[in-house]
């Protein structure tokens, strides 16, 4: 017994001593690593990743880069689900150990714009290698502070086999030009015994992806849509009397009426919804081409999927009826709050390598399933939904939803929650209008 | 006599049933670790088509299980020893020397248990990031010590108060100093509480996610819970390997708990002197 | 006299020094810094802050949603505390009688505590959204037909149940530790007196367990008021923000809405509420203990 006690005491003393020693050591090693960045020796970079589903693929890519660039080591900082990502990002900033590179939502990059390196001087280089307009839509307040690496489109995804079977003919999405067309399409599909459409009952889907269209469709120009939202905040614009908003919501009513999840609309289980759609349990799904990273590897799914614009009015030529919303939701930004110039230079090189080398492109496109907004991409994307969105992008049939970058960071939870209440029938249109109006008005306080 | 046997049997049956319902989430979990995520999502009750350990291999591989295990072990063991010894000493101080300052400090410590961690989170990383005491085991251990001592002091305090003074008085007549008295007389009597605190703190440190995620940034220092989050993606969770990882993470604590539980009972029997 | 004082200082430093140093450095100083931030409009993104006095507190205390959320948290904590303590007390009582397989049962009921809150939350989320509706539809149990987490009231109960489920095993151990130290001759004497089982509990065991009840109430009150991980993983505040407990709301406010000073001020108010409740109950129970 006595021995045990002595042992315990000895351990304690040892730990305290070592922790004191560690104190000194800790600060030394920090200086050492900072110094090594400029010593022309090894450069250590960190990469803060909010696309947690491709953590492993990123780690592999970093290792591959280290093979060909032995003096650069990149370490991944994985992030947990949802809201904790921002919490962790802020903690890193606060602890003065920011990640050298960060893969963040474009809105987050904008919020923390002061912390990131201004890459505007490289704009010409990137415009040279990127697809037309890709760099423009990543510009924040006319500055380039993050490099786009993925372009995503969304809309009404359809399962070709299921839709064809329900209609008895080959479905041509370009025939659905107006809201009435959509309603009769859903009606026909339902008559064939197939659930027509699925709405994913999560606030990010109905709030950020759907409702935000009512701001984006106000104008093709982001500055105009920003002004519209500003008017909402000032109370000089009235949502309930806005034609475009009402159009968007009228179409939502139709989708709501034919919703596959009508009995329990707010479950919002992404894995379940995605797998049900991919295995043909319903015909349409309001979602985007990112779905492939969830379902692509499942067994027993259908092969052929496409995306279709959502008609918001009965005038076929209205903006939005034949276009799909496309965005560059995430950017790679380089830290400018605690990184050394050597680290920043190495980070810039790495990003260029990713987007232009065969190895980098293959990893991003084939292994991670991203749609690169760059020219000369040889890697082939196996994602059929992305292939479908690419067609709209190539034809210029896109809706500019750049506005969401400039919305307050809690807009999608707050307005998305109001949309969920509406989806579940807890509030009616007037109630929704009230909640949205009061949300926007509350923003003027800041 | 007979009827009491019957009641006893019924009672045991009811208790077993209750336990079964109580543990059903885990039983479903274990069943599903042998299936693919897709099989699981489609029907959580189906028996696995074949028993495969793929999820376990995947978990071990993707979590870098060995590294995580060793890291968690070091942190937990050292952390618990520090918290237990020093908190017991402080509790002794507060219980036996009723100076005003002790009363105030004890009150402050007790009250601090009601502080949401999020309140001190950003200030904490700001302060320690600025002085550079971060991203090391020592730093994490120091924080566990600081956060863990209130509950431990509070619990020890309650028990020490119940120990009669007579024992220490005898020792002090013998000329034994305060420190020696504490280690020779008091600490052995605290065994049951030590086991309790050990179990609670092991569970806390072994499973903690938030604090290590803020403090430990180097991958070679990562503890097991940090690695479990490899299975989370932005909007969904890769359930089956996550659950396999969960079972693997849980097993060591379960074994430790079984071992300590015996010890608690032994300790309680010895402590029944009071 | 002076020598004695010196000796006392020495005792204080040896016994209290290490813990108090760590406690001050890790809890008190960051807390003070955090408290200072509540009087500012600190912005994490730009790093700028200006002193705004009591502005944050004023806007919180006039914010109806915050007060509703605080009330929601109090309701949640109250139910959790009652359910988990009654359950833990009963289980502890049953499992201190020397039943066959007692150790096994104790371990079994304690198991939920072997896992961290976030993962446990995801596990239960899956149960509530998939497994139970699957069974509900198969066997026609109306209560499980739809997910509990998509209904305001049921989601509230889901939180209470899961938290009580986990806490129960934890508190049970503390109660068992308390029961073991109830001298068995007192129990025997009560049995000989012919005290009925229920009366025995009320009149003998309960008063002798006051100290474990104090500990358990304190633990369960602070744990349920500070529930965060479970809230995040199980309901994520949903459906439509109706199950945001106070801690969750604080984190959302501070980090998602980027109003750090305001979130921090809400946390201070939560702290005051919990401290007042917890300390009042401790003081009250301690008095009972003295009387008993």
A207-230 tens-digit pLDDT: 999 999 999 999 998 899 999 999
Q: How many CB atoms lie within 10 A of CB A65?
A: 22
Angstrom distance (rounded) from CA B64 to CA B60: 6
Per-residue model confidence (pLDDT) at position B3: 62
Which alpha helices (DSSP H) does B162-190 contain, by range? 166-173, 178-181, 187-189
Per-residue model confidence (pLDDT) at position C141: 85
A90-99, C39-48, C71-80: which is most confident: C71-80
Residue B250: list chain C partners with CB under 8 A. 114-115
Interface test mutation site (partner C, options A267, A419, A425, max chain C beta carbons within 10 A): A267
Per-residue model confidence (pLDDT) at position A30: 40
Nearest C-alpha of chain B: how many angstroms from A65? Answer: 18
Per-residue model confidence (pLDDT) at position C291: 59
Answer yes or no: is B93 within a domain: yes
Question: A376, A399, A433 — which closes off a domain?
Answer: A376
For residue range A166-190, list pLDDT tens digits in order.
Answer: 999 999 999 999 999 999 999 999 9
Q: What is the mean pLDDT of residues A17-26?
A: 40
Q: What is the mean pLDDT of residues A46-75?
A: 90
Nearest C-alpha of chain A: how many angstroms from B43? Answer: 11
Angstrom distance (rounded) from CA A193 to CA A415: 34
C283 band by pLDDT with thresholds 50, 70 and 90: confident
Domain tally for chain B? 1
Answer yes or no: is B20 within a domain: no
Answer yes or no: is B139 within a domain: yes
CA proximity to A254, closest of A190, A319, A209, A315: A190
Whether the predicted pLDDT of C93 surpasses 50: yes
Nearest to B116 among C94, C127, C270 (CB): C270
Nearest C-alpha of chain C: how many angstroms from B89? Answer: 5
Per-residue model confidence (pLDDT) at position B227: 77
Q: Say if the Cβ atoms of C254 and B145 lie within 8 Å.
A: no
Is residue A266 domain-shared with residue A161, that is, in the same domain? yes
Q: Which residue segment(s) compose the domain that B142 sits in? A: 55-271
| A413 at C interface, C-beta within 8 A | yes
C114 band by pLDDT with thresholds 50, 70 and 90: confident
**What percent of chain A shows pLDDT beyond 90?**
60
Answer yes or no: is A136 within a domain: yes
Q: Say if the Cβ atoms of C150 and A263 lie within 8 Å.
A: no
Nearest C-alpha of chain C: how many angstroms from B108? Answer: 9
C194 band by pLDDT with thresholds 50, 70 and 90: low
Nearest to B120 among C34, C107, C113 (CB): C34
Per-residue model confidence (pLDDT) at position A446: 52
Residue of A nearest to B86 (CA): A12
Contact present, C216 and C281 (Cβ < 8 Å): no
Angstrom distance (rounded) from CA A291 to CA B236: 11
Which alpha helices (DSSP H) does A174-285 contain, by range? 179-191, 203, 213-216, 222-234, 243-257, 270-278
Q: How far is CA C72 from CA C153, C160, C243, in A?
A: 11, 12, 8
Q: What long-range pairs does A93-97 form, CB within 8 A, spacing at least 24? A: A93/A337, A93/C44, A94/B122, A94/B125, A94/B126, A94/B129, A94/C44, A95/B125, A95/B126, A95/B128, A95/B129, A95/B134, A95/B214, A96/A338, A96/B129, A96/B130, A96/B132, A97/A338, A97/B129, A97/B134, A97/B135, A97/B217
User: E strand or H helix at A326, and its extent?
Assistant: strand A324-327
Residue A78: list chain B partners with CB under 8 A. 226, 229-230
Q: Say if the Cβ atoms of A11 and B214 lie within 8 Å.
A: no
Whether the predicted pLDDT of A262 surpasses 90: yes
Is residue A159 domain-shared with residue A61, that is, in the same domain? no
**Within a 13 Å sphere around the CA of A18, how many CA atoms are in the beta-carbon half?**
12
Angstrom distance (rounded) from CA B94 to CA A218: 68
C73 CA to centre of own chain: 11
Residue A426: list chain C partners with CB under 8 A. 240
Answer yes or no: is B5 within a domain: no
Answer yes or no: is B23 within a domain: no
What are chain B's partners, defined as 3 or more CB pairs within 8 angstroms? A, C
Residue of A nearest to B63 (CA): A56
Q: Which residue segment(s) compose the domain that A159 sits in? A: 153-327+390-445
In this structure, what CATH number is given to the domain that contains residue A160? 3.40.190.10
**What percent of chain C shows pLDDT beyond 90?**
13
Q: Which residues pair with A105 in a beta bridge?
A: A330
Per-residue model confidence (pLDDT) at position B158: 76
Q: Pick A129 or B96 by higher pLDDT.
A: A129
Nearest C-alpha of chain A: how many angstroms from C251? Answer: 8
Q: What is the mean pLDDT of residues C207-234?
A: 82
CA proximity to A136, closest of A327, A309, A319, A335: A327
DSSP label at residue C116 = -
Q: Say if the Cβ atoms of C181 and B272 lie within 8 Å.
A: yes
Per-residue model confidence (pLDDT) at position C92: 86
| C226 at B interface, C-beta within 8 A | yes
Whether the predicted pLDDT of C130 surpasses 60: yes
Answer yes or no: is A14 within a domain: no
Q: Say if the Cβ atoms of B182 and C15 lie within 8 Å.
A: yes
What mean pLDDT value characterizes chain A?
A: 87
| A94 at C interface, C-beta within 8 A | yes
Looking at domain C56-291, its CATH superfamily turns out to be: MetI-like (1.10.3720.10)
For residue range B118-163, list pLDDT tens digits in order.
Answer: 778 878 887 888 788 888 888 899 999 999 998 888 888 877 877 7
Is residue A48 domain-shared with residue A132, that is, in the same domain? yes
Is residue A366 domain-shared with residue A395, that is, in the same domain? no
Per-residue pLDDT of chain B in tens (274 residues, 90 and over written 9): 456 777 778 888 888 999 998 888 888 888 888 887 777 777 777 777 777 788 888 878 777 788 888 898 899 999 999 999 999 889 888 888 888 888 888 888 888 887 878 778 878 887 888 788 888 888 899 999 999 998 888 888 877 877 788 777 777 777 677 788 888 778 887 777 787 788 778 888 888 887 888 788 777 888 888 777 667 666 666 777 778 888 888 888 888 777 777 665 544 433 322 2
Contact present, C169 and C111 (Cβ < 8 Å): yes
In this structure, what CATH number is given to the domain that contains residue B234? 1.10.3720.10
Per-residue model confidence (pLDDT) at position A7: 43
User: E strand or H helix at C161, and its extent?
Assistant: helix C152-180
Q: How many CB atoms lie within 10 A of CB A9?
A: 13
For residue range C173-186, list pLDDT tens digits in order.
Answer: 878 877 776 666 76
Answer yes or no: is A334 within a domain: yes
Residue C174: list chain B partners with CB under 8 A. 196
Q: How far is CA B150 from CA B75, B86, C22, in A?
A: 19, 11, 11
Domain tally for chain A? 2
Is residue A161 domain-shared with residue A138, that is, in the same domain? no
Whether the predicted pLDDT of A150 surpasses 60: yes
| A192 at C interface, C-beta within 8 A | no
Is residue A87 domain-shared with residue A125, that is, in the same domain? yes
- Residues C192, C197, C202, C206, Cα dihedral to 10°: 80
- Residues A207, A211, A213, A215, Cα dihedral to 10°: -100
CA proximity to A322, closest of A219, A398, A210, A212: A398
Nearest to A410 among C133, C145, C256 (CB): C256
Per-residue model confidence (pLDDT) at position C190: 63
Angstrom distance (rounded) from CA C221 to CA C23: 22
Answer yes or no: is A29 within a domain: no
Q: Which of residues 230-259 of C touch B (CB under 8 A)?
A: 246-247, 250-251, 254
Torsions phi, psi for B139 (to 5 deg)? -65, -45
Angstrom distance (rounded) from CA A131 to CA B78: 55
Is residue A287 domain-shared with residue A409, that is, in the same domain? yes
Q: Say if the Cβ atoms of C147 and A424 lie within 8 Å.
A: no
Q: Say if the Cβ atoms of A88 and B213 lie within 8 Å.
A: yes
**What percent of chain A shows pLDDT beyond 70?**
89
Residue C47: list chain A partners with CB under 8 A. 114
The helix/strand/coil state of C55 is helix
Answer yes or no: is B29 within a domain: no
Answer yes or no: is B232 within a domain: yes
Whether the predicted pLDDT of A303 surpasses 80: yes
Interface test mutation site (partner C, options B10, B35, B45, B146, max chain C beta carbons within 10 A): B146
Whether the predicted pLDDT of C193 surpasses 80: no
Q: Say if the Cβ atoms of B213 and A5 lie within 8 Å.
A: no
Contact present, B226 and B212 (Cβ < 8 Å): yes
Q: Say if the Cβ atoms of B138 and A19 lie within 8 Å.
A: yes
| CA diameter of chain B | 73
- Residues C58, A438, A423, A83, Cα dihedral to 10°: -50
Coarse DSSP helix, strand, coil percentages of chain B, rounded to the nearest 5 percent? 80, 0, 20
What are chain A's partners, defined as 3 or more CB pairs within 8 angstroms? B, C
Per-residue model confidence (pLDDT) at position B155: 80
């Amino acid at each position: 017994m006595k021995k045990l006690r002595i042992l315990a005491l000895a351990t304690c003393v040892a730990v305290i001593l070592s922790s004191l020693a560690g104190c000194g050591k800790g600060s030394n090693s920090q200086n050492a690593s900072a110094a090594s960045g400029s010593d022309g020796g090894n450069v250590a970079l960190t990469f803060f990743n909010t696309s947690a589903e491709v953590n492993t693929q990123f780690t592999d890519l970093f290792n591959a880069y280290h093979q060909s660039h032995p003096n650069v080591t990149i370490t991944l900082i994985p992030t947990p689900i949802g809201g904790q990502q921002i919490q962790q990002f802020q903690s890193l900033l606060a602890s003065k150990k920011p990640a050298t590179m960060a893969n963040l939502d474009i809105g987050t990059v904008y919020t923390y714009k002061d912390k990131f390196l201004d890459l505007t001087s490289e704009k010409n280089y990137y415009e040279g290698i990127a697809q037309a307009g890709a760099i423009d839509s990543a510009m924040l307040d006319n500055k380039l502070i993050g490099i786009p690496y993925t372009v995503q489109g969304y809309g009404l995804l359809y399962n070709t086999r299921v839709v064809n079977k329900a209609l008895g003919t080959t479905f041509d999405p370009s025939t659905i030009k107006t809201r009435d067309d959509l309603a009769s399409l859903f009606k026909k599909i339902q008559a064939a015994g197939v659930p027509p459409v699925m709405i994913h009952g999560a606030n990010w889907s109905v709030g950020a992806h759907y409702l935000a269209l009512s701001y984006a469709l106000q104008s093709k120009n982001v500055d105009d849509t920003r002004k519209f939202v500003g008017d909402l905040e000032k109370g000089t614009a009235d949502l309930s009397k806005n034609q475009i908003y009402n159009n968007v919501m009228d179409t939502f009513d139709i989708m709501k009426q034919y919703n596959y999840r009508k009995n329990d609309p707010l479950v919002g289980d992404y894995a379940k919804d995605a797998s049900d759609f991919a295995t043909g349990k319903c015909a349409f799904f309001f979602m985007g081409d990112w779905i492939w990273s969830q379902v692509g590897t499942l067994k027993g799914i259908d092969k052929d999927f496409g995306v279709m614009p959502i008609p918001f009015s009965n005038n076929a030529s209205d903006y939005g009826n034949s276009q799909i919303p496309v965005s560059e939701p995430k950017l790679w930004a380089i830290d400018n709050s605690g990184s050394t110039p050597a680290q920043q230079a190495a980070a810039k090189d790495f990003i260029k390598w990713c987007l232009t080398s065969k190895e980098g492109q293959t990893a991003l496109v084939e292994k991670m399933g991203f749609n690169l907004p760059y020219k000369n991409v040889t890697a082939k994307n196996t994602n059929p939904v992305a292939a479908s969105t690419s067609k709209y992008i190539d034809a210029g049939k896109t809706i500019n939803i750049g506005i969401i970058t400039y919305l307050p960071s809690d807009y999608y939870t707050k307005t998305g929650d109001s949309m969920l209440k509406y989806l579940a029938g807890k509030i009616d249109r007037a109630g929704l209008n009230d909640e949205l109006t009061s949300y926007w008005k509350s923003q003027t306080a800041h | 006599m007979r009827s009491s046997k019957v009641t006893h049997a019924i009672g045991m049956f009811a208790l077993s049933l209750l336990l079964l319902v109580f543990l059903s989430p885990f039983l479903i979990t274990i069943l599903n670790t042998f299936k693919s995520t897709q099989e699981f999502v489609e029907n959580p009750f189906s028996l696995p088509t074949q028993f495969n350990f793929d999820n376990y291999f995947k978990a071990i591989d993707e979590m870098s299980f060995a590294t995580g295990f060793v890291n968690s072990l070091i942190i937990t063991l050292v952390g618990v020893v520090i918290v237990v010894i020093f908190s017991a000493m402080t509790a002794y101080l507060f219980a036996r020397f009723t100076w005003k300052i002790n009363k105030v400090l004890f009150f402050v410590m007790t009250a601090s248990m009601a502080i949401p961690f999020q309140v001190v989170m950003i200030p904490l990383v700001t302060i320690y990031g600025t002085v550079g005491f971060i991203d090391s085991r020592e730093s994490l251990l120091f924080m566990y010590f600081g956060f863990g001592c209130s509950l431990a002091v509070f619990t020890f305090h309650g028990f020490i108060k119940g120990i009669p003074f007579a024992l220490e008085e005898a020792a002090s007549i013998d000329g034994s100093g305060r420190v020696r008295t504490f280690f020779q007389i008091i600490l052995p009597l605290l065994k049951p509480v030590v086991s309790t605190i050990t179990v609670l703190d092991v569970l806390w440190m072994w499973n903690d996610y938030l604090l290590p995620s803020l403090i430990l940034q180097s991958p070679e220092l990562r503890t097991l819970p940090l690695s479990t989050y490899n299975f989370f993606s932005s909007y969904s969770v890769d359930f089956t390997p996550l659950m396999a990882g969960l079972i693997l993470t849980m097993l060591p604590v379960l074994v430790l708990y079984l071992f300590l539980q015996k010890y608690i009972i032994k300790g309680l029997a010895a402590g029944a002197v009071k | 006299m002076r020598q004695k004082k010196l000796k006392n200082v020495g005792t204080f430093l040896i016994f209290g020094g290490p813990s108090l140093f760590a406690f001050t450095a890790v809890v008190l100083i960051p807390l003070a810094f955090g408290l200072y931030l509540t009087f500012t409009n600190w912005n994490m993104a730009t790093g700028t802050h200006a002193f705004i006095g009591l502005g944050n507190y004023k806007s919180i205390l006039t914010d109806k949603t915050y007060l509703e959320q605080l009330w929601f948290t109090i309701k949640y904590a109250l139910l959790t505390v009652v359910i988990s303590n009654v359950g833990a007390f009963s289980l502890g009582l049953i499992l201190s009688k020397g039943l066959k397989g007692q150790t096994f049962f104790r371990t079994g009921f304690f198991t939920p505590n072997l896992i961290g809150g976030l993962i446990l939350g995801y596990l239960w989320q899956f149960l509530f959204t998939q497994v139970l509706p699957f069974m509900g539809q198969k066997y026609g149990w109306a209560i499980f037909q739809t997910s509990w987490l998509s209904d305001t009231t049921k989601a509230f109960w889901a939180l209470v149940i899961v938290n009580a489920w986990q806490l129960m095993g934890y508190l049970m151990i503390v109660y068992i530790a308390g029961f073991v130290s109830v001298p068995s001759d007192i129990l025997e004497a009560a049995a000989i007196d012919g005290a009925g089982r229920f009366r025995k509990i009320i009149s003998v065991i309960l008063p002798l367990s006051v100290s474990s009840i104090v500990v358990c109430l304190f633990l369960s009150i602070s744990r349920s008021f500070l529930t965060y991980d479970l809230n995040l993983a199980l309901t994520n505040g949903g459906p439509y923000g109706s199950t945001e407990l106070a801690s969750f709301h604080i984190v959302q406010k501070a980090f998602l809405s980027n109003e750090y000073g305001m979130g921090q001020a809400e946390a201070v108010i939560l702290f005051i509420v919990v401290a007042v409740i917890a300390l009042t109950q401790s003081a009250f129970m301690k008095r009972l203990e003295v009387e008993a």
